[in-house]
Amino acid sequence: MLTDRRILLVIGGGIAAYKALDLIRRLRERGAHVRGILTRAGQEFVTPLSVGALCGGRAFTDLFDAESEFDVGHIRLARDTDLVVVAPATADLMAKMAGGHADDLASTVLLATDKPVLLAPAMNPRMWDNRATQRNVAQLAADGRRFVGPNEGEMAEANESGLGRMAEPLEIVAAIEGLFAKPAASGPLSGKHVLVTSGPTHEPIDPVRYIANRSSGKQGHAIASAAALAGARVTLISGPVNLPDPAGVRVVRVETAREMMQAVDRALPADIAIFAAAVADWGIDKPGAQKMKKDRVGPPQLPLSENPDILATIAGRKAARPGLVIGFAAETENVIDHAREKLRRKGCDWMVANDVSPQTGVMGGDRNTVHLVSEAGVESWPQQTKDAVARALISKIAAALV
């Protein structure tokens, strides 16, 4: 329930704006008070009249509207709320936010607010993938803005699909409820900072191509979620994944291994670091600034250079090394032997080893069979869901701390 929670909804200009109307209804059904701001482009998709009618008040549109400035004023709009939600958050609105612009009511309120801001991005997949958008998303995440979606799926444009659909109203409601949920202050990891890496990395070849792997991020995200439920302050550094942000977790989105290394460095110090990401071992030396053309003599040679080994770097640190450093070893054969060797080579405290051969269905699937490898020996866990693996790992960590 969201009884008496005050939510300021900023509606940007995208076809997904129609879902913002349903979102208002869902929020009010749960007892929230909703105020609506429409950008100029937002008004091309839904009208202030419908937004006002659904909110049970008037919708706000203009920075220089004498009446609403007299009534409420943009600073009060920005502050007299518990949460600001931007849905749809367009590429343009996010660029303005990342740059600190304030040239209309929506951007001014977003700059003036001292309350948490949740963004539900919606745009064409190419606009989402554009490095400028990804830079802005990373900046906003680093500024503490929260995200829900975007999701994968059909676009409004014919024959277009990909990552860029706005999260569904009920997913946005769940994310809002997650933000308001009280952290489990008395959990076994309360007072601890847990850092988790998750998902694949994308190593660009040129502006449209990249090298990737099949990691879905499900296991890493489940661990971040379980750590938050155990009361920890959690920073999740995630490569490109198609998963909602876990509730109560600070999420930093990155694309490449180098960006992940930087984000990890910025997020430290931590008490516990869990490196569940499938980081690419190599990146392209000099990604092309333009799309590579086929009309050249034979296929291109792609010189690779080694990426930083994030786990080994952090585990090998003398200063500010997290007290417990945990790596993952995804193997397709001799799983435990390879994990033991990796534990020594990388200098971490525990290795979670799993068999990711195609027949196991682990990559992208919901279940996992893991072995916990440490100096103390090997513990083999039964096959279980990735959520259950996450909970079991967090319990192990909590037990090891006492």
The reply to whether 277 sits near ligand C5P by the rule CB under 6 A is yes
Pick the stretch among 187-195, 208-216, 327-335, 373-381 that binds ligand C5P (CB under 6 A).
327-335
Q: Give 235's strand partners.
A: 195, 250
Write down the least CB distance from residue 3 to ligand C5P, Å.
Answer: 42
Residue 334 designated active-site: no
CA dihedral for 355, 356, 358, 363, sign (positive or negative): positive
The reply to whether 275 sits near ligand C5P by the rule CB under 6 A is yes
Of 81, 108, 215, 307, the one binding ligand C5P (CB under 6 A) is: 307
The reply to whether 324 sits near ligand C5P by the rule CB under 6 A is no
Write down the least CB distance from residue 56 to ligand C5P, Å.
Answer: 49
The reply to whether 309 sits near ligand C5P by the rule CB under 6 A is yes
Write down the least CB distance from residue 2 to ligand C5P, Å.
Answer: 37
Tell me whether residue 97 or residue 362 sits nearer to ligand C5P (CB atom).
362
Of 124, 136, 151, 213, the active-site residue reads 213
Tell me whether residue 245 or residue 309 sits nearer to ligand C5P (CB atom).
309
AA identity, residue 305: S
The reply to whether 147 sits near ligand C5P by the rule CB under 6 A is no
The reply to whether 349 sits near ligand C5P by the rule CB under 6 A is no
Tell me whether residue 195 or residue 226 sits nearer to ligand C5P (CB atom).
195
The reply to whether 7 sits near ligand C5P by the rule CB under 6 A is no
Length of the chain: 402
The reply to whether 354 sits near ligand C5P by the rule CB under 6 A is no
The reply to whether 45 sits near ligand C5P by the rule CB under 6 A is no
How far, in Å, CA of 279 to CA of 253, rounded?
14
Write down the least CB distance from residue 346 to ligand C5P, Å.
Answer: 6
The reply to whether 368 sits near ligand C5P by the rule CB under 6 A is no
Write down the least CB distance from residue 314 to ligand C5P, Å.
Answer: 8
Tokens of 176: 């809002």
The reply to whether 328 sits near ligand C5P by the rule CB under 6 A is yes
Residues that bind ligand C5P (CB under 6 A): 197, 257, 275, 277, 279, 281, 307, 309-311, 327-329, 342
Residues assigned a catalytic role: 213
